Amino acid sequence: MNTGPLVARRGTPTPSFRAAAVDYKSLPKLELPALKAVPPVAVVKTPPMGWNSWNKFRTRINDQMIREIADAMVATGMRDAGYVYVNIDDGWQDKRDAAGVLQPNPNFPNMKALSDYVHSKGLKLGIYSSPGPTTCGGFTGSYGHEEIDAKTWAAWGIDYLKYDWCSASRVWKDEDMQAVYQRMGEALRKTGRPIVYALCQYGRIKVQDWGTKVGASLWRTTFDIRDQWASMEQIGFAQSDLAYASNPGSFNDPDMLEVGNGGMTPVEYRTHFSLWAMVASPLLTGNDIRTMDPATRDILLNKEVIAVNQDKLGKGGKRLAQQGSTEVWVKPLEKGAQAVALFNRGEAKAKVSVQWADLKLSGKVRIRDLWAHADVKTEAEGYSAEVEPHGVVLLKASK
Q: Which of 181, 50, 203, 64 is nearest to 127 (CA)?
A: 50
Catalytic residue among 71, 176, 224, 369: 224
Rounded to whole angstroms, the Cα distance separating 6 from 370 reads: 45
Rounded to whole angstroms, the Cα distance separating 286 from 338 reads: 28
Bridge-partner residues for 200, per DSSP? 164
Q: Among this protein's residues, is 164 annotated catalytic?
A: yes
Contact 148, 186 (CB under 8 A): no
Catalytic residue among 164, 227, 255, 288: 164
DSSP 183-210: HHHHHHHHHT---EEEEESTTGGGGGGT
Rounded to whole angstroms, the Cα distance separating 203 from 66 reads: 29
Within 10 Å of residue 250's Cβ, how many Cβ atoms?
18
Helix residue ranges, H only, 16-132: 54-57, 63-75, 78-81, 111-120
Strands, DSSP E only, in 255-381? 283-285, 318-323, 326-332, 338-344, 350-355, 366-369, 374-375
Rounded to whole angstroms, the Cα distance separating 109 from 248 reads: 37
Residues acting as catalytic residues: 164, 224
